[in-house]
Chains A and B, each alone.
Chain A
Amino acid sequence: MSFIDQSKIRNFCIIAHIDHGKSTLADRIIEKTGLLTSREMQNQVLDNMDLERERGITIKAQACRTVYKAKDGEEYILNMIDTPGHVDFNYEVSRSLAACDGAVLVVDATQGVEAQTVGNVYLAMEHDLEIFPVLNKIDLPSAHPEEVKSEIEDVIGLDAEDAPEISAKTGQNVEDVLEAIVHKIPAPVGDIQAPLKALIFDSVYDSYKGVIISVRLREGTVKPGDRIRMMATGAEEEVVEVGYFGAGQMIPCDVLEAGMVGYITASIKNIKDTRVGDTVTNADRPCEERLPGYKKVQSMVYCGIYPADSAKYPELRDALEKLQLNDASLYFEPETSAALGFGFRCGFLGLLHLEIIQERLEREYNLDLVTTAPGVVYKIHKTSGEVMELTNPSNLPDPSEIEYMEEPMVKAEIMVTTEFVGPIMQLCQERRGEYQGMEYIETTRALLTYHIPLNEIIYDFFDALKSRSRGYASLDYEIIGYQRSELVRLDILVNKEPVDALSFIVFADSAYDRGRKMCEKLKEEIPRQLFDIPIQAAVGSKVIARETVKALRKDVLAKCYGGDISRKKKLLEKQKEGKKKMRQIGNVEIPKDAFLNVLKLDEN
Chain B
Amino acid sequence: MELYIHIPFCVKKCGYCDFLSFPAGGKLQAKYTEALIREIRSFSGMEQSVSSIYIGGGTPSLLPAEGIAEIMAAVGEAFSLEPDAEVSMEANPGTVQPGSLSVYRGAGVNRLSFGCQSADDGELKRLGRIHTFREFQESYAYAREAGFANINIDLMSGLPGQTEESWERTLSQIAEMQPEHISAYSLILEEGTPFYEKYHAVSGMIAEGEPDFRVRELEEERYHLKEEEQLPGEETERRMYERTEEILADCGFRRYEISNYAKSGKECRHNVGYWTGVPYLGLGLGASSYTGTLRFRNTDDIGKYLLAHTGSDSDGRLRTLFGGACGSEKETENILTADGREDPEFLGREDRMAEFMILGLRLVSGVRPEEFRRRFGQDVTEVYGGTIRKYKEAGLLREEDGRLFLTRRGLSLSNMIMAEFLL
Task: Give me the interface of A with B, judged by CB distance under 8 Å.
Answer: 528, 530, 549-550, 552-563, 565-566, 569, 571-573, 575-576, 579
Contacts and interface: CB of A to CB of B under 8 A. Distances in A.
B422 A562 contact: no
B418 A572 contact: yes
A225 B288 CA distance: 75
Nearest to B281: A562
A554 B237 contact: yes
B259 A559 contact: yes
Q: Which of B234, B241, B345, B413 has the most CB of A within 10 A?
A: B413
B359 A566 contact: no
Nearest to B273: A562
Given A563-B4, A572-B358, A576-B419, A556 B288 contact: no
B422 A556 contact: no
B416 interface: yes
Contacts of A575: 415-416, 419
A565 B274 contact: yes
Contact of A572 (B187, B345, B411, B419): B419
B412 interface: yes
A550 B412 CA distance: 15
Contacts of A571: 415
A554 B282 contact: no
A573 B209 contact: no
A565 B288 contact: yes
Interface in B364-417: 394, 396, 411-416
A566 B354 CA distance: 12
B413 A530 contact: yes
Given A528-B209, A550-B209, A556 B290 contact: no
29 contacts: A528-B208, A530-B396, A550-B209, A554-B234, A554-B237, A554-B238, A554-B412, A554-B413, A555-B414, A555-B416, A556-B258, A556-B412, A556-B413, A556-B415, A557-B414, A558-B185, A558-B188, A560-B275, A562-B290, A563-B286, A565-B274, A565-B290, A565-B295, A566-B295, A572-B422, A573-B422, A575-B415, A575-B416, A579-B419
Nearest to A558: B185
A561 B359 CA distance: 9
A576 B282 CA distance: 29
B362 interface: yes
Given A561-B274, A565-B288, A566-B343, A555 B422 contact: no
Contacts of A559: 185, 188, 259
Given A554-B412, A556-B413, A575-B415, A565 B238 contact: no
B234 A556 contact: no
A550 to B, nearest CB: 4
Given A530-B394, A560-B362, A565-B295, A552 B422 contact: no
B355 A558 contact: no
Contacts of A550: 209
B422 A569 contact: yes
B186 interface: yes
B280 interface: yes
Contacts of B237: 554
Contacts of B185: 558-559
Contact of A553 (B238, B359, B396): B238
Interface string B3-21: 0100000000000000000
B310 interface: no
A257 B362 CA distance: 80
Most buried by B among A528, A553, A556: A556
A319 to B, nearest CB: 29
A565 B275 CA distance: 10
Nearest to A563: B288
List the 5 closest A-B pairs by CB distance, nearest first. Answer: A550-B209, A575-B419, A558-B185, A563-B288, A555-B415
A565 B360 CA distance: 12
B278 to A, nearest CB: 10
A115 B117 CA distance: 66
Given A556-B413, A556-B415, A563 B297 contact: yes
A559 B280 CA distance: 18
B415 A566 contact: no
Contacts of A557: 188, 258, 414-415
B414 A556 contact: yes
A555 B208 CA distance: 12
B329 to A, nearest CB: 17
A526 to B, nearest CB: 11
Contact of A562 (B4, B186, B419): B4
A567 to B, nearest CB: 10
Given A549-B209, A558-B258, A575-B419, A566 B188 contact: no
Interface in B193-212: 207-209
A204 B287 CA distance: 60
A553 B412 contact: yes
B83 to A, nearest CB: 23
Interface in B169-202: 185-188
Contacts of B188: 557-559
Contacts of B271: 561
Contacts of A554: 186, 234, 237-238, 241, 412-413
Interface in B225-245: 234, 237-238, 241
Nearest to A561: B274
Given A552-B416, A571-B415, A573-B422, 18 more contacts: A528-B208, A549-B209, A554-B234, A555-B413, A556-B415, A557-B258, A560-B274, A561-B274, A562-B282, A563-B297, A565-B274, A565-B288, A566-B343, A569-B354, A569-B355, A572-B358, A572-B419, A576-B420
B51 to A, nearest CB: 14
A255 B259 CA distance: 83
A150 to B, nearest CB: 52
Contacts of B288: 562-563, 565-566
A560 B416 contact: no
A562 B359 contact: no
Contacts of A579: 419-420
A64 B413 CA distance: 61
Nearest to B296: A566
Interface string B136-165: 000000000000000000000000000000
A527 to B, nearest CB: 10
A573 B208 CA distance: 21
A575 B288 CA distance: 24
B359 A565 contact: yes
Nearest to A554: B412
A540 B275 CA distance: 54
B413 A552 contact: yes
